[in-house]
Amino acid sequence: MERIIVTPGHRLNGEVRASGSKNSALPILASTILTEEECRVTRCPDISDVDNTVQILRYLGCEAEFSSGTVTVKADCIEKSDIPYSLMEQMRSSIIFLGAMLARLGRAEISMPGGCDLGPRPIDVHISSLKKMGAEFVEYGGFLYGEAQQLRGAYIHLPFPSVGATENIMLAAVTAVGETVISNAAKEPEIADLAQMLTKMGARIEGAGGDVIKIVGVKRLYGAEHEIIPDRIEAVTLIAAAMITGGKVTVTGIVPEHIKAVADVLETAGVRISTGESFVTADAPKRLKAVPRIVTAPYPGFPTDCQPMLTAMLSVADGVTLVSEQVFQSRFKYVNELYRMGADIYVEDRTAIVLGNSRLTGARVTATDLRAGAALVIAALASTGKTEIDDIYHIARGYENIDGKLRTLGADIKMK
Ligand code: EPZ
């Protein structure tokens, strides 16, 4: 099994371009089964989650090709309406096919997504919302069987702004009969990006990116071409990596507004941030300062996906930072691995107490999930001594050529 070897001692400086967003590519690729015409999705990151999604499209019977960042899909003859356990277990976010399969096929059979290192990953809100649109479900033997002769528009108020549930409702609603209103909708940039793609396909959607999304169902959708938005979480990962080494980095090809909440935290830590239309430059202070409090929240709040990377970065800052994880039940498992690298971090329930001033030392550690793996790489860059990171398939799931990008900035990092 491949692992990442990081040899520290290098300040990371330079310019690097962000890839397309993993969390936008997945629902947009699922949307391509809503039409029989060809769709082309560009700026897809070359990551295993996209590969898995292409495999699911092929398994369902679509023609699907992924080359040099473009996924081309033609879903004119879908033969299957199930996603096998083997494909689901590799990627729990395959749940994003549920709404589109019910809309296109009238039925869906998928294995219940298991938990992961962020805690249980329930889909109760997805199911209750789709039931309001006329779908019926049976859960049996770890599988979810869904049926919907004809989906109907509905008024759906989400108990909290679930990203995946918002996306599944949108994918089910665009060809449902009548109007769907989603209130308390997720506002992440990936929601607006999905709406962009669906609108290009002929859907009637307004309000995506805000609290209330209105969708009027149409009879059919058409082929479209769409470029995925940049990956805001990758951009933050690259910045945190440069900042912990005292460097200066410009990340290009991004939407600065998408990382505003994180930029504010970085400035509190003493980072000098400058932005242009499609880039952000971050220049580290001599010594990072602690940030009194970071609280994760749905967009436009501080993104939970950036919590592990900023916690790792602030483990060497001067002072104490409290990091409160309010989106996932347990997203601090990676702290055990950082602790083995000498990070002075203690977790009480859903808050990490980052004491700061840690003297990090290289160690053999294990990535427990995508962002945890990124946090370990960041800590390794500022340690004394080499770090070896196992189970890096987690990192490959969501980061395109992250080692190559970090090497461009001067890091001594290699896959082995
Ligand atoms: C999406 O997950 C992202 N994944 C996650 O990114 C991200 O952390 C999350 O949104 C929050 O921004 C993709 O887009 C593929 P949620 P999702 O539904 O849709 C609970 C990464 O690292 N919940 O907004 O699963 C859930 O357990 C990944 O790229 C229910 O209880 O997030 C969580 O505690 C990690 N019932 C909270 O809500 C439900 O039916 C937020 O989940 C659905 C969710």
Contact assessment for residue 282 and residue 271, using Cβ atoms and an 8 Å cutoff: yes
- Beta carbon of 164 within 6 Å of any ligand 1 atom: yes
Tens digits of residue pLDDT in 362-376: 999 999 999 999 999
Tens digits of residue pLDDT in 353-407: 999 999 999 999 999 999 999 999 999 999 999 999 999 999 999 999 999 999 9
Tens digits of residue pLDDT in 263-274: 999 999 999 999
d(CA 97, CA 84): 12
- Beta carbon of 25 within 6 Å of any ligand 1 atom: no
> Strand 204-206 to strand 82-83: parallel, antiparallel, or no bridges (unpaired)?
unpaired
123 alpha carbon – ligand 1 mean position (Å):
9
- Beta carbon of 366 within 6 Å of any ligand 1 atom: no
d(CA 1, CA 8): 22
222 Cβ contact list (under 8 Å, min separation 6): 35, 37, 201, 202
186 alpha carbon – ligand 1 mean position (Å):
10
| Residue identifier of the C-alpha nearest atom 34 of ligand 1 | 328
Nearest to 45 by CA among 223, 227, 197: 227
164 alpha carbon – ligand 1 mean position (Å):
6
Strand partners, 15: 250
What is the pLDDT confidence band of residue 233, given thresholds at 50, 70 and 90? very high
- Beta carbon of 162 within 6 Å of any ligand 1 atom: yes
Catalytic residue among 39, 62, 77, 116: 116
Nearest to 197 by CA among 222, 220, 161: 222
- Beta carbon of 121 within 6 Å of any ligand 1 atom: yes
Does the predicted model carry a pTM greater than 0.95?
Answer: yes
DSSP line for 123-191: -HHHHHHHHHTT-EEEEETTEEEEE-SS-B--EEE-SS--HHHHHHHHHHHTTSBSEEEEES----HHH
Nearest to 309 by CA among 250, 264, 243, 364: 243
Using DSSP's 3-state secondary structure scheme, residue 284 falls into coil
d(CA 111, CA 105): 17
pLDDT at 116 over 80: no
| Residue identifier of the C-alpha nearest atom 3 of ligand 1 | 23
Most ligand 1 atoms within 8 A of CB, residue of 163, 295, 307, 333 to mutate: 163
- Catalytic status, residue 306: no
